[in-house]
Amino acid sequence: MQGSTDASDESKVAGIVEQVRADMQLRGSEDSERLLKQRLDDAGIQLPQEQISRLVQEIQNGPSVVD
């Protein structure tokens, strides 16, 4: 049953990344890493720092997949 939890967490992380990306478009001066960590913590999701750093790069450089 672990796989279903992983998929659920992956979906949550993807949603959180999109939320932070949208927030950063509205509040560009805010620290995206701090906001991402806060959102992940609120969701009870712990990720290694290297994954958080990669997600921050995606947030800052990638296009939004939400239209």
pLDDT value of position 1? 44
Q: Are 23 and 64 in contact (CB under 8 A)?
A: no
Report the range out of 25-29, 47-51, 63-67 with the highest average pLDDT: 47-51
Mean residue pLDDT across the chain: 83
36-to-11, 19, 57, 61 alpha-carbon distances in Å: 15, 9, 11, 15
> For the chain, which residues make up each domain, given as ranges?
2-61
pTM, entire model: 0.71
pLDDT in tens, 1-19: 455 556 688 899 999 999 9
Kindly tell me if the per-residue pLDDT of 44 is higher than 90: yes
pLDDT value of position 26? 78
